[in-house]
């Protein structure tokens, strides 16, 4: 329970109170770091240092929110298992509509809030935007800045692959050898 209270306190920082704002554009800055990612148990990113510049444009019946997120996230290379910093720099936009209904249908581009809501929680949006950009296959020489795979680890991986191929050739089943001969004819 104590950990849950700590998470809620940490994520309060990512709320924008819009009810008292005048119509027009308003700018906000948020730091997204390790404590932010700790709040999300299943986050692909566990460490990072990002800046989120948020421009909120308030209109009479809606909000237009533009995000510019930049910095680095710490990833682990799938080839050599070395941790590396991957640069991030992207922009996103979401429209916020107000509705009388308690239940709204959110989409990727449109978020619905009740007319009684007075603040916008962007923590889940930031979490989603950052984690979606984590590549499926992470390689330090491709996504890192001035990074290359650890040669010592690659050598170890290469020698273990050689050992596996040697044992495969020695321990072949004679029945497969006969089938291989048929295939080659």
Q: Which of 101, 94, 98, 126 is nearest to 112 (CA)?
A: 98
| Segment holding 111, helix H or strand E | strand 110-114
Tokens of 138: 């992470």
A 10 A CB-CB count for 101 gives 9
What distance in Å separates the CA atoms of residue 55 and residue 142, rounded to the nearest whole number? 31
What mean pLDDT is predicted for residues 41-60? 94
Residue 162 has pLDDT above 70, yes or no: no
Q: Are 140 and 77 in contact (CB under 8 A)?
A: yes
What distance in Å separates the CA atoms of residue 38 and residue 131, rounded to the nearest whole number? 13
Tokens of 73: 């996230």
Q: What confidence tens digit (pLDDT) does each residue in 82-129 have?
A: 889 999 999 999 999 988 766 556 777 888 888 888 999 999 999 999
Q: Are 33 and 49 in contact (CB under 8 A)?
A: yes
What distance in Å separates the CA atoms of residue 6 and residue 107, rounded to the nearest whole number? 29
Q: What confidence tens digit (pLDDT) does each residue in 11-48 have?
A: 899 999 998 889 999 999 999 999 999 999 899 999 99
Q: Where in the chain are the domains?
A: 2-147, 150-185
What distance in Å separates the CA atoms of residue 81 and residue 154, rounded to the nearest whole number? 10
pLDDT confidence bin for 177, thresholds 50/70/90: confident
Q: Which of 14, 38, 7 is nearest to 121 (CA)?
A: 14
């Amino acid at each position: 329970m104590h950990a849950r209270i700590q998470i809620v306190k940490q994520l309060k920082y990512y709320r924008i109170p819009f009810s008292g704002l005048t119509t027009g554009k308003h700018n906000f800055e948020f730091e997204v770091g390790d404590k932010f990612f700790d709040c999300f148990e299943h986050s692909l990113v566990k460490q990072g240092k990002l800046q989120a510049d948020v421009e909120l444009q308030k209109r009479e019946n809606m909000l237009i929110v533009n995000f510019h997120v930049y910095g680095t996230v710490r990833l682990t290379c799938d080839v050599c298992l070395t941790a590396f910093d991957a640069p991030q720099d992207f922009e996103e936009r979401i429209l916020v509509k107000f509705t009388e209904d308690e239940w709204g249908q959110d989409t990727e581009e449109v978020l619905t809030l009740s007319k009684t809501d007075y603040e916008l929680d962007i923590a889940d949006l930031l979490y989603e935007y950052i984690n979606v950009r984590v590549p499926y296959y992470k390689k330090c020489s491709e996504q890192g800045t001035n990074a290359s795979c650890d040669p010592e680890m690659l050598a170890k991986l290469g020698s273990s692959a050689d050992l596996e191929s040697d044992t495969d050739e020695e321990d072949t089943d004679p029945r497969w050898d006969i089938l291989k001969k048929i295939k080659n004819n």
